[in-house]
């Protein structure tokens, strides 16, 4: 893991911050196509600090350091290629250890690596431009905390961020829980801008809107249309249309816009099945079908004839398309929560439990009204 110490590198001579929980990254390019990095982090055994080139878990070149229980600093090079923890790259570590200094309760570890990446050519360092990067803080799992291949746990809530690495001004500070970036004394500007808190708020808002759209508005809209035509009179249609247009359609469109902005902030890929599983694809499908279903509903309303003797084919199409959309929307919520659990694992499990309980209630409610009322049609004999 350790390599020979090369000639002294000209590193930025800045005192490390003493802010609790702060993770600071220094970087300095050398003339031989090599970049020198200095990580500054709390001397807390068993906590890893990672900085990675790349925009999302779909493709990352990760450089990790941690302070072991044996009071040794461990460096590790890892590769992320999907919705799993980054894996050790073995012989492609390519990290050359320089030195470690302990100042008060802070560790400063300095190492170097080639600008070119053996992990991925697309993730090589290019000092002529800004590059997307991410950071993460979490726990080293198990007893093997002194090996570069040690097992790392998923970062906790707030323990990651998406940033933009400005190599021309290579100094920044990251905060483990939060998004504040502090400019250190003697430095004009940070290397990166971390807007993780804003992105996470957008993701939460997206999730709330989609839950309201497909666990509340969509199912209730179907229940009203199927069972309550006679009881509500003309109001069944107004309630049904309101739930579907305001709740399902508008909620889905606004939710899509929010998550689109959030993913763009992190330079992510909306359609990456490696990172999002099927959630992104199902989400696009639900959005497109909901727009089609709304247009179909407007057309059917214009074509409605109270003298009709049977249910026309376009009504039946509207029913079944609506049912399919609601089912896909409901199924996509657990997929979304699975992705969200990389941000907040505990909260994600709570939401999955609540979603499962609500789906059971919807199934029981639908079965009850189907057995007691049955499907009701407008201006036709009961089919």
Residue ranges of domains in the chain, CATH in brackets: 22-194 (2.60.40.1210), 198-372 (1.20.120.1770)
Distance, in Å, from the CA atom of 151 to the CA atom of 143, rounded to the nearest integer, reads 9
Percentage of the chain surpassing pLDDT 90?
A: 24
This prediction has a pTM of 0.58
Taking 90 as the threshold, does the pLDDT of residue 348 lie above it? no
Task: Provide the strand spans (E) within 216-357.
Answer: none
**Banded pLDDT at 202 (limits 50, 70, 90):** confident
**Banded pLDDT at 272 (limits 50, 70, 90):** low
Distance, in Å, from the CA atom of 376 to the CA atom of 370, rounded to the nearest integer, reads 10
Taking 80 as the threshold, does the pLDDT of residue 178 lie above it? no
Q: What is the pLDDT of residue 83?
A: 59
Residue 288: count other Cβ atoms within 10 Å of its Cβ: 12
Q: What is the pLDDT of residue 277?
A: 66
Which one is predicted more confidently, 302 or 347? Answer: 302
> From residue 130, how far is each of 77, 127, 168, 193, 246 by CA, in Å?
22, 7, 8, 11, 41
DSSP 145-182: -SSTT--BPPP-TT-EEEEEE-TTS-EEEEESSS----
Per-residue pLDDT of 54-108, as tens digits, reads 877 677 888 999 888 788 888 888 888 765 677 777 767 788 888 888 877 788 8
Distance, in Å, from the CA atom of 26 to the CA atom of 28, rounded to the nearest integer, reads 7
9 and 97 Cβ atoms separated by less than 8 Å: no
For 295-300, which contacts have Cβ atoms below 8 Å and span 24 or more sequence positions?
Answer: 296/321, 297/241, 297/244
* 3-state secondary structure (DSSP) of residue 362: helix
Give the pLDDT mean for 328-349: 78
Give the pLDDT mean for 310-320: 88
**Banded pLDDT at 271 (limits 50, 70, 90):** low
Q: Which of 216, 329, 215, 202 is nearest to 255 (CA)?
A: 202
Helical (H) or strand (E) element with 35: strand 34-42
Q: What is the pLDDT of residue 151?
A: 76
Q: What is the pLDDT of residue 171?
A: 46
Average pLDDT, the chain: 76
Taking 50 as the threshold, does the pLDDT of residue 157 lie above it? no
């Amino acid at each position: 893991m350790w390599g020979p110490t090369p000639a002294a590198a000209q590193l930025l001579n800045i005192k490390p911050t003493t802010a609790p929980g702060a993770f600071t990254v220094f970087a300095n390019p050398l003339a031989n196509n090599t970049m020198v990095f200095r990580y500054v982090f709390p001397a807390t055994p068993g906590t890893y600090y990672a900085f990675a080139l790349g925009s999302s878990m779909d493709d990352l070149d990760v450089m990790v350091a941690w302070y072991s229980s044996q009071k040794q600093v461990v460096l590790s090079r890892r590769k992320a290629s999907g919705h799993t923890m980054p894996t050790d790259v073995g012989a492609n570590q390519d990290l050359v250890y320089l030195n470690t200094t302990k100042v008060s309760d802070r560790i400063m570890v300095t190492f170097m690596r080639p600008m070119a990446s053996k992990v991925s050519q697309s993730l090589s360092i290019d000092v002529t431009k800004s590059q997307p990067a991410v950071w993460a803080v979490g726990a080293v799992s198990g007893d093997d905390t002194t090996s570069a291949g040690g097992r790392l746990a998923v970062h906790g809530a707030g323990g990651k961020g998406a940033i933009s690495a400005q190599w021309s001004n290579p100094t920044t500070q990251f905060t483990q829980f939060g998004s504040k970036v502090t400019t250190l004394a003697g430095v004009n500007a940070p290397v990166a801008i971390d807007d993780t808190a804003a992105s996470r708020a957008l993701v939460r808002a997206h999730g709330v809107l989609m839950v309201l759209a497909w666990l509340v508005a969509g199912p209730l809209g179907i229940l009203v249309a199927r069972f309550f035509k006679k009881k509500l009179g003309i109001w069944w249609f107004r309630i049904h249309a309101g739930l579907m247009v305001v709740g399902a359609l508008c909620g889905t469109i606004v939710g899509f816009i929010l998550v689109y902005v959030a993913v763009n902030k992190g330079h992510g890929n909306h359609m990456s099945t490696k990172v999002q599983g099927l959630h992104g694809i199902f989400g696009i499908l639900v959005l497109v079908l909901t727009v089609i279903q709304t247009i179909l509903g407007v057309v059917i309303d214009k074509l409605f004839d109270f003298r009709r003797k049977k249910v026309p084919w376009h009504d039946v199409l509207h029913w079944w398309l609506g049912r399919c959309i609601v089912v896909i929307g409901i199924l996509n919520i657990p997929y979304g929560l699975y992705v969200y659990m990389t941000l907040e694992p505990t909260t994600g499990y709570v939401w999955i439990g609540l979603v499962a309980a609500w789906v059971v209630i919807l199934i029981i409610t639908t079965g009850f009204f189907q057995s007691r009322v049955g499907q009701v049609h407008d201006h036709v004999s009961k089919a």
